[in-house]
Amino acid sequence: MTGNAMPSDDLNDSNSTPEAREGRGPDGLTEQELRRGRAEWWDDAFTALLLDAMPDGPFRLVDLGCGYGHAATTLLPAAPEAQYLGVDLDPVRAAACAELIQPLGGRARVVAGSALALPMAADCAEVVLSVSTLMHIDDVPAALSEARRVLRPGGRLVAVEPDNRVQMFRFDGSLPGLDRAFSALFARLTSLGKPAHPELGPQLPALLGAAGFDQVGFRVHMTQSAHAEPAETFLDRVSGVADVVAASAELSEQEPTLLECRQVLAQLREQLAGHEGYSVHAVPSWRCVGVA
C-alpha cells in the first residue's frame, strides 16, 4: 500500500477519466509511486498468496487493472501453462504494461478497457484477478457482474483488496499514535470516496456472495514493509506515504487528519533521533475467492 505505497496508497477514483490529472493514473498515482509501492510490499509471500488461489494446469487469466504488470511478471514464471490478458482503463498504462511484459512472450497480452465493460467474450477465462483495482471502482457490484460474465462456469474470481483503516506501524515496539493518526486519515478518505472504497477488503466476501459467486472463501494477509534501519529512514518513508495519500486524493494541506499525521511524525523524529531499529508498516489485505 503509498510513496512507498502499500495497498494503502492505491488511492483515488478510477472512474474519473485517465487524463484527469497530468502524470497520475485513474488511481491517482504516478507511475513512480505505483511502482515504488509495489517494490516495497509485493514480496514472495504476496505472490504465493495469489498462486495459491490459481487452478492447477492450464488457465486463462484476466487481470483487472493490470497497472505495470506486477501480476504477470510474478505469476507467469510459476504458471508456465497460463495465458494472461491484462486490462487497464488507462491506455498509457496499458501500453507501458504491454512493453514490460513482452519478454514473457505471446501468452501475455494487454488491452486498454474498463472492468465495467470488458473487451472480451463471455465464458472466456478460468480466472479473473483484481489486485487493488476494485477499490477504485464506484460500482463494485457492476464490476463483479462483468467478471462473472467473462468467467467460464466453475471459473474463479480472485480479488485482493486492503482494509486501509487498519494501519500498523512499529519501530522497536508499537507506535499507537501513528496507527491512530493514519487510521483517521484513511477514515477521512473513506468519507470523501477517494479512492472509491479505501476499506473494501472486509466487504469483499459479502459482495461476492451478493454477486452470485459460490463457495466464497477468504483469508487475511498482512502486506508489509519491514526493515532494519535508522529511525530517520523509517520516518521519511512514512512521511512519503502521507505525501502520496495527500496528492493522490487531492487533500488540502490544511486537512486536519493530514496535519495530525505530520505532527505525530514530527514528535517521533524528536523521540527517535539517532536510533537504529526494526521498522514495520503493515496493512491487512483480504484475498477473496469466489466460483462462477
Ligand X SMILES: C[S@@+](CC[C@H](N)C(=O)[O-])C[C@H]1O[C@@H](n2cnc3c(N)ncnc32)[C@H](O)[C@@H]1O
Q: What is the largest CA-CA distance in the chain?
A: 59
Interface with ligand X, residue 249, by CB under 6 A? no
Could you tell me how far CA 119 lies from the centroid of its own chain? 22
Of 115, 241, 283, 288, which lies in the binding site for ligand X, with binding defined by CB under 6 A? 115
Interface with ligand X, residue 133, by CB under 6 A? yes
Q: Are 215 and 290 in contact (CB under 8 A)?
A: yes
Which residue type does 197 have?
H
Number of residues located near ligand X, criterion CB under 6 A: 25
Interface with ligand X, residue 194, by CB under 6 A? no
Kindly state the cell numbers that stand for 259. 496535519
Q: Are 34 and 57 in contact (CB under 8 A)?
A: no
Min separation Cβ 97 and ligand X, Å:
8
Which residues, 6 or more positions from 248, have their beta carbon under 8 angstroms from its beta carbon? 2, 9, 11, 12, 24, 27, 28, 29, 33, 194, 195
Q: Which of 71, 85, 61, 11 is nearest to 38 (CA)?
A: 71
Region from 129-137, 165-173, 220-228, 283-291 binding ligand X, contact rule CB under 6 A: 129-137
Region from 126-134, 207-215, 220-228, 276-284 binding ligand X, contact rule CB under 6 A: 126-134
Which lies closer to ligand X via its Cβ, residue 89 or residue 235? 89
Of 6, 10, 108, 246, which lies in the binding site for ligand X, with binding defined by CB under 6 A? 10
Q: Which residues bind ligand X (CB under 6 A)?
A: 10, 14, 25-27, 34, 38, 64-67, 70, 87-90, 93, 114-116, 131-133, 136-137
